[in-house]
Amino acid sequence: MERLTCHSLNILCLFLLFSACHVPQEVVGSEQQSLSTHIDAAHWGIRTSKDIAYLSLGILHETQGDKLVIHDVRSRRPQRQLPNNFTSRSPEFKNGVFLVSHFNRGNRNHLGGYFNTFSRPPSQAAIGIDPPSPDETPTLNFTYSDHAPGFAGFWIHLFDFKAPPEKRVFLDTRTANFLTFSIRGESGTEALALKVADQQLEAKEDSHLVGNLGDFLPKGEITQTWQQVWVPLRAFPHAIDRQYLAGLVFLAYGHGQIFIKDLAFTTEQNVPIPTAQQPTPLIRQFRKALWLWETEQVLNNPEERHALLDFCAQQGITDLFMQIPYEAEQEQQQWRIMWQTEKFPSLLRALHRAGVRVDALDGDRRYVLKEFHGRLLMLIDHLRHYNEQVLPEERFDGVRFDNEPYLLPQFAGVQKKDVLRQYLLFLQKARPQANQAGLTFGVDIPFWFDSNNTFFEPSAELEGRPMTEHILDHVDNIAIMDYRTQAYGADSVLAHAQTELTYAAEQKTPVFVALETVPLPDETLLRFDSHGKQDSCVVLEDAEDQRIQIYWLPTCTETDPLSFLTTQKHVQLRQAGRIAVPADKLTFAQRSPDELRHVMQQVTTEFAHLPSFVGFAIHSYESYHVWVQGKHVTHP
């Protein structure tokens, strides 16, 4: 199974999130050398390189060197169409107060707005809701470390930025006179600047400075004790259109930890602001699953087997997704299942005695295609025969497929829906067969199967419905590959799993929220089109077999070693944008086990009320057990 899982493809959501940031981000790695790759023109619905007007790619900064990955190719330069008229809502004041958020639950405020951090290395920032706060009530908790030449901060939206532009509703603050919230610092040395954005500035990813928060505090600075911020809206820059207020941006200085609560707009200063009540926690038992890919090592090595059983006991593992090994039949150039019947029964018996449920696991990007469905259905049939031959405690409990269609080269182009239809067809055939064999049927899916890209096009849909809903209609359970290392925020574990869990609750389908511990490379995402003006460029050249060779040049100058390509017979597109995707955002590999446990605790607190949320799945045993022991693991 290829383990590029959900790394490069996260850009389908990241581009959307980038549009909401007010501060540009730098690249993570350094790109000094030219890179090249090729695409199949038919996959993208084009004939020659001259048909290409837009291209996006990723540069994976792997240990052995940078690698080029193509994400999107189009014959037209896509544009985000903004409506001619915008919509806003007037606040409904109660006793002179319009409450935006207590910051006591969830990612979104009463206006549908998210909050999120921004930073540029070497600065760092994290945000969350972490009770108990100093007064034993939940608050927004912002931790930061600002180091030149970087920066750090966070933003709070006053609208739902995931809604298409024509459906966005901004806040009309013309009837309000003050912005207010409570704030304190952990050390009392923290400093923040306040900026604001209206609809026009938000569309440009920009904001205007209002002033330092200390200017609006009774003591003139943030202290260790709670103070009430009162910002008169007349202090907002005149260029801000208060009829369409979009967001608040906080820029941090130095380092520290800040707590904020009870954000509101008011008609008068010093009116009483209602406070939040502590949510009542729900107590439930949750499961913890683990992928195991190197099954042969466990089957063939008694020490590895004991290590797996001990690890499952130590980490509270309740479910194991165990890859079924294969070996090649040289004469027929096919593969057959390595059942090793004398070893599987004893391993499953030991796991079941330890309270671990076991799913047989298989997966490959090709298996979603119709021509491979027979192989997967054969596996289900083999599992049925195996279970019939062994004792109940030696049987597999379910079958699970980690088939990731988005890793197919044709997925991102014009053949996407055909690939999705073949995948759905497999699910429709496999689940009945698995259930008849007494097996539960589960699959693993990426979190973005129900999201939109930066142009507000569905990332994966069929018949007007997101692919996630189709999948949930035809499985017994799923694991959402929700590979983020922050529980809260617009680009977080909670934000990306919410809609899947809500729909799954309606279907009564159990859902595991999956987190990553496998080391991954940093990635730089670049966009190119005919209007680009930045130094970097791509040069496109027609090759044999309807392939198009793509050369990425860090600088397009006459001294570049590939400058000979920039002739009239080649197509050149200039860079139009870039964004950094640090691996630290996707995997816990460079973080600590305590951080993983903390994120899991936060997610559990928020999702405990959803019956579809049954726990977590950790990817994978091979990396997780080494990482927990504090050993260093490097990415590919």
For 141-167, the pLDDT digits (tens) are 999 999 999 999 999 999 999 998 889
Residues with Cβ within 8 Å of 634's Cβ and at least 6 positions away in sequence, in order, are 63, 519
Task: Say yes or no: 413 and 314 in one domain.
Answer: yes
Nearest to 426 by CA among 463, 475, 384: 475
Q: What are the tens digits of pLDDT across the range 368-423?
A: 999 999 989 999 999 999 999 999 999 999 999 999 999 998 898 899 999 999 99
What separation in angstroms does the CA of 244 have from each of 194, 350, 413, 479, 632? 18, 62, 37, 39, 50
Tell me: pLDDT of 207 over 90. Answer: yes
- pLDDT reported for residue 306: 97
Report pLDDT for 571. 87
* CATH number, position 308: 3.20.20.80
- Find out whether the peptide bond into 620 is cis, omega within 30 degrees of 0: yes
Q: Which string of DSSP letters, residue by residue, matches 218-278? A: TTSS--SS-EEEEEEGGGS-TTS-GGGEEEEEEEEESEEEEEEEEEEEESSTT-----PPP
Residue 308 and residue 248 share a domain: no
589: its two tokens: 């590999």
- 23 lies in some domain: no
With a cut of 80, say whether residue 434 has pLDDT above it.
yes
Q: Which two tokens stand for residue 423?
A: 């995948």
Q: Could you give phi then psi for residue 315, rounded to 5 degrees?
A: -95, 5
Flag whether 607 is in a domain: yes
Q: What is the pLDDT of residues 293-323, one digit of tens each?
A: 999 999 999 999 999 999 999 999 999 999 9
Nearest CA to 34 out of 585, 560, 603, 420 is that of: 560
The answer to whether the beta carbons of residues 184 and 134 sit under 8 Å apart is yes
How is 502-551 classified by DSSP, letter by letter? Answer: HHHHHHT--EEEEEE-S---EEEEEEEETT--EEEEEEEEE-STTEEEEE
Which long-range CB contacts under 8 A does 377-382 form with residues at least 24 apart?
Answer: 377/429, 377/430, 377/433, 379/324, 379/337, 380/430, 380/433, 380/434, 380/437, 380/439, 381/433, 381/437, 382/337, 382/339
Note the pLDDT tens digit of each residue in 41-74.
999 999 999 999 999 999 999 999 999 999 999 9
Residues 253 and 300 in one domain: no
**In this predicted structure, what is the pLDDT of residue 454?**
82
Q: CA-CA distances (angstroms) from residue 528 to 70, 80, 234, 532, 534?
A: 11, 15, 41, 6, 9
Neighbours of 246 (CB within 10 A): 29
Residue 206 lies in a domain: yes
Burial 205-236 (b: 16+ CB within 10 A, else e): eebbebebbbebbeeebbbeeebebbbebeeb
Q: Are residues 252 and 336 in the same domain?
A: no
* Residue 277, pLDDT score: 75
- List C-alpha distances in Å: 618 to 289, 492, 518, 583: 6, 16, 10, 17
Work out the number of other CB atoms within 10 angstroms of the CB of residue 294: 13
Angle at 289 between CA 283 and CA 292, to 5 degrees: 170
Q: Is residue 54 part of a domain?
A: no
Q: Same domain for 251 and 295?
A: no
Predicted local distance difference test score (pLDDT) of residue 130: 77
Residue 89 is predicted with a pLDDT of: 96
- Is the pTM for the entire model greater than 0.85? yes
Alpha carbons within 13 angstroms on the beta-carbon side of residue 323 total 21
CA dihedral 96, 102, 108, 113 (to 10 degrees): 40
Looking at residue 458, the DSSP 8-state letter turns out to be B
Residues 164 and 292 grouped into a single domain: no
pLDDT exceeds 90 at position 252 = yes
Q: Which of 213, 236, 266 is the last residue of a domain?
A: 266
Q: Are residues 258 and 324 in the same domain?
A: no
> Mean pLDDT lowest for which of 7-21, 33-47, 433-447, 547-561?
7-21
CA gap 398, 358 in Å, rounded: 7
The closest of 258, 272, 248 to 170, measured between CA atoms, is 248
Q: What is the DSSP letter of 10?
A: G
> Residues 303, 452: one domain?
yes
Same domain, 592 and 506: yes
Residue with tokens 């505090």: 217
Total number of domains constituting the chain: 2
At residue 144, the pLDDT reads 97
Q: What's the CATH code of the domain at 162?
A: 2.60.120.430
Q: What is the pLDDT of residue 348?
A: 97
Calpha distance 425→443 (Å, rounded): 14
Same domain, 209 and 317: no
Domain annotation covers residue 31: no
**422 lies in a domain?**
yes
Q: Tell me the C-alpha distance between 173 and 197, whole Å.
A: 12
Mean pLDDT on 573-584: 92
- Is 217 found in the same domain as 172? yes
> Is residue 274 included in any domain, yes or no?
no
Type of residue found at 317: I
Q: Exposed/middle/buried for 272, CB within 10 Å: 0-12, 13-18, 19+?
A: exposed
Shared domain for 368 and 439, answered yes or no, is yes
d(CA 349, CA 170): 59
Confidence of residue 133 (pLDDT cuts 50, 70, 90): low
Q: Would you say residue 127 lies in a domain?
A: yes
Section 254-281 average pLDDT: 90
* Domain residue limits at 156: 97-266
Contact indicator for 127, 252 with CB cutoff of 8 Å = no
Q: Using CA atoms, how far apart are residues 288 and 24, in angstroms rounded to an integer?
A: 38
Among 383-387, 450-454, 595-599, where is mean pLDDT lowest? 450-454
How would you classify the pairing of strands 613-619 and 54-62? unpaired
